[in-house]
Amino acid sequence: MTFSIAGLAVSRGISIGRAVLAGSGRMEVAHYFIEPGQVEGEIARVRSGRNAVIAELQRLQEDIPADAPQELTALLDVHLMLLQDEMLTSGVKHWITERLYNAEWALTTQLEVISRQFDEMEDDYLRERKADLEQVVERILRHMKGMVHPVAQPHSPRRRTQQDLMLDDTMDVPLVLVAQDLSPADLLQFKKSVFAGFVTDVGGKTSHTAIVARSMDIPAVVGARSGSQLVRQDDWIIIDGDAGVVIVDPSPIILAEYGYRQRQIELERERLTRLRHTPAVTLDGERVQLLANIEMPQDAAAAVAAGAVGVGLFRTEFLFMGRAGSLPDEEEQYRAYREAVEGMQGLPITIRTIDIGADKPLDKGHKGTSLNPALGLRAIRWSLADPGMFRTQLRALLRAATHGKVNIMFPMLAHPAEVEQTLAQVRLAQAELDARGAVHAPAALGAMIEVPAAALMVRYFLRHFDFLSIGTNDLIQYTLAIDRADEAVSHLYDPMHPAVLRLVADVIAAGRAQGKSVSVCGETAGEVGMTRLLLGLGLRSFSMHPAQILAVKQEVLRADTRKLAGWAHALVDADLAPSAESLLNQ
């Protein structure tokens, strides 16, 4: 039966495919696709894990003292029975052979399938056996952890089920990821495989999970509440990334309608590619810089290919994530930055120092204990708290600057003392490189304006830095006191709030008055509905996901900044929050 789930639209477009439920919660396991040649090996891994647990339980059974309670023996019997259940073994085999899931993923997927059946049981006693099943699966997983298994290259599965073949005999079935939550590190892992879209129960519009989805340019919906509970493994689903809606088990009519819309979107994209080499100049001759935001060094070349004239934000923290505690050393970082710089083919790149903390934990198990992580030790605070780690990154960046046009940018500065310490660390890093005779080059230094305190002290920042970049994602979060990752308050997260617009307008004006470059690198820079307002406020440099560049360029080409300036400043002066509709109609 068709039903829909409402969430937040975070990455545009339509995708239609089969649901892949990525297990979450208690059992954190790796999810990757295996090669067809690894199927037997993966099945064997589950089998040995299962046999080891059976042997363990049988040993326990033998050693049970005669006076042990009857329930204990009964419980062991239940566990042994569950382990030998045909549904568990055949289900796991199915996910490995048909979907090419790795062994752990197949096991947790099947656990979920069976758990749902337990949930539906009338009998209380039987329903409670779900906990026993979870325990035996956890035991199998623990045994498997100790086993060596070949490293698989993630790739798109080629196999299709009978039903897929009936539906379409000419293409591979796209897979859509559905999860309770995905960390940015999870997503980067998934970036290597081919998912056509994803849905998560939690997350806000500018949570880092949403940002990575946009950078992958795949339709996504976050904040779908209990979506991962309602969707079943292998269900057909449609993700409408524009409306923020997920349609489960669509009827043929709905499928046809969305298929049509999908083709329209593709046509529009193709049409936009004609603007790829057109300079971004407004009707009144104002040149506008359209830059890209990237997360990995390899993204640099893709950004250039997408028509960016530079990178305005390289979020380096993704290099540090999901490494189980070990941080990349200077050499590894230098190689990564150098790859990004060379990928730019002479175009400038602004590399931001690490912004770890809040919704970007180093790894999943390292969320920190802070009650309010967005206000805690994150970004520059994290770097200044560990100057050795910070200078390692600075040295790597200064060395990479010898290979192209590198700007270094610092996140979340708010205090003059932080500014002074940051600049002192840069000088120290240069001195360390000189002392060991390492080749390095000077880089322009910039500050992100993403805390209201920094926006209010913009003149101080302009005295100390070569350029500024407004991080609207955090500026909105901190100005309006709205957690950017919390879907419960996402309706209050408003880029057009008069207070936010006033801060943005003041920073742009102050930068222009001093002839220093100011850009916006938060998500608002890539929203076509915001382009004219930002142009009207005097912004001439926008940094966004590469996929948005041509759509924003189209807006720039149609704009006349002389007409927009009066309108935009009047809006800000009148303390009016413009509606999205009025922005588009302007």
Judged on CB neighbours under 10 Å (0-12, 13-18, 19+), 360 is buried
Using CB under 6 A, which of the segments 5-13, 70-78, 365-373, 465-473 binds ligand PEP?
Answer: 465-473
Contact 110, 95 (CB under 8 A): yes
Residue of the chain from 181, 295, 330, 450 that contacts ligand PEP (CB under 6 A): 450
**Parallel/antiparallel/unpaired status of strands 444-449 and 406-410:** parallel
Give the nearer residue to ligand PEP in terms of CB position, either 265 or 375: 375
Interface residue with Mg ion among 474, 486, 523, 555 (CB under 5 A) is: 474
* Among 87-95, 276-284, 334-342, 466-474, the segment contacting ligand PEP (CB under 6 A): 466-474
**Residue 38 binds: one of Mg ion, ligand PEP, none (C-beta under 5 to 8 A by kind):** none
**Does 473 interact with ligand PEP (rule: CB under 6 A)?**
yes
384 binds, among Mg ion, ligand PEP, none (CB under 5 to 8 A by kind): none
Any residues with CB less than 8 A from the CB of 195 and at least 6 apart, and which?
A: 20, 174, 175, 176, 177, 218
Q: Of these, 234, 359, 450, 555, which contacts Mg ion (CB under 5 A)? A: 450
315 or 440: CB nearest Mg ion: 315
CB 380 within 8 A of CB 356: no
Choose the contact partner of 186 out of ligand PEP, Mg ion, none; CB within 5 to 8 A by kind. Answer: none
Q: 239 by DSSP, 3-state: which? A: strand
Does the protein bind Mg ion through residue 299 (CB under 5 A)? no
Structure tokens at 325: 């505690």
Q: Which is nearer to ligand PEP, 200 or 473 (by Cβ)? A: 473
Tokens of 435: 């002392």
Contact indicator for 351, 316 with CB cutoff of 8 Å: yes
- Quick one: 313 or 394, whose CB is closer to ligand PEP? 313
Span interacting with ligand PEP, options 58-66, 148-156, 414-422, 470-478, rule CB under 6 A: 470-478
Residues 342-371 that bind ligand PEP (CB under 6 A): 355
Scanning 65-73, 141-149, 324-332, 472-480 for contacts with ligand PEP by CB under 6 A, the matching segment is 472-480
Question: Distance between CA 298 and CA 312 in Å, rounded?
Answer: 15
DSSP letters, 230-249, are: HS-TT-EEEEETTTTEEEES
Least distance to ligand PEP, CB of residue 353, Å: 12
CB atoms within 10 A of CB 35: 13
Residue 538 binds to ligand PEP (criterion: CB under 6 A): no
Which DSSP state fits 353? Answer: P
Spatial contact of 215 and 299, defined as CB atoms under 8 Å apart: yes
Site string for ligand PEP, 175-214 (x = CB under 6 A): ------------------------------------x---
Backbone angles phi, psi at 409, to 5 degrees: -130, 145
CB count within 10 Å of CB 36 equals 11
Q: How many helical (H) and strand (E) elements, i.e. helices and strands, does the chain have? A: 25, 16
Using CB under 6 A, which of the segments 58-66, 278-286, 467-475, 556-564 binds ligand PEP? 467-475
Stretch that binds Mg ion, among 49-57, 64-72, 154-162, 447-455 (CB under 5 A): 447-455
Residue 360 CB, nearest distance to ligand PEP (Å)?
A: 7
Query: How far are the Cα atoms of 22, 80, 210, 258, 317 from residue 362, in angstroms, in the given order?
Result: 20, 39, 17, 38, 8
Question: Residues, the chain, total?
Answer: 586
Q: Would you say 212 or 239 has its CB closer to Mg ion?
A: 212
The amino acid at 105: W
Q: Could you tell which of Mg ion, ligand PEP, none binds residue 522, using a CB distance below 5 to 8 A set by kind?
A: ligand PEP
Out of 208, 403, 491, 545, the active site residue is: 208
Instruction: Give the shortest CB-360-to-Mg ion separation in angstroms.
Output: 9
If binding means CB under 6 A, how many residues of this protein chain bind ligand PEP? Answer: 11
Q: Are strands 220-222 and 8-11 parallel, antiparallel or unpaired?
A: antiparallel
Among all chains, which residue has been given the structure tokens 């992958």? 216
CB of 471 to Mg ion, least distance (A): 4
Q: How far is CA 66 from CA 61, 62, 69, 78, in A?
A: 11, 10, 9, 19
471 part of the interface to Mg ion, by CB under 5 A: yes
Q: Can residue 240 be called a binding residue for ligand PEP (CB under 6 A)?
A: no
112, 186, 418, 474: which one contacts ligand PEP (CB under 6 A)?
Answer: 474
Among this protein's residues, is 569 annotated catalytic? no
Nearer to ligand PEP, 175 or 294 (CB): 294
- List, in order, residues 6 or more apart from 299 with CB less than 8 Å away: 215, 292, 340, 343, 546
Contact 105, 52 (CB under 8 A): no
* 315 lies in the site for ligand PEP, by CB under 6 A: yes
As a whole number of Å, the end-to-end CA separation of the chain is: 43
Contacts of 510 (CB under 8 A, 6+ apart): 458, 459, 462, 518
Among 250, 297, 471, 578, binds ligand PEP (CB under 6 A): 471
In the residue annotation, 521 being an active-site residue is answered as yes
Beta-bridge partner residues of 357: 360
SS3 405: coil
Instruction: Give 315 or 540: the residue with its C-beta nearer to ligand PEP.
Output: 315
Report CA-CA distances (Å) from 351 to 121, 215, 223, 295, 579.
55, 16, 30, 10, 34
Are residues 504 and 475 in contact, defined by beta-carbon separation less than 8 angstroms?
yes
Q: Which of 446, 522, 526, 578 binds ligand PEP (CB under 6 A)?
A: 522
Given the residues 31, 79, 143, 521, select the one marked as catalytic.
521
Q: Is 521 in the site for ligand PEP (CB under 6 A)?
A: yes
Decide whether 330 or 474 has the Cβ nearer to ligand PEP. Answer: 474
Show which residues are catalytic: 208, 521
> Residues interacting with Mg ion, by CB under 5 A?
450, 471, 474
> Residues interacting with ligand PEP, by CB under 6 A?
211, 313, 315, 355, 450, 471-474, 521-522
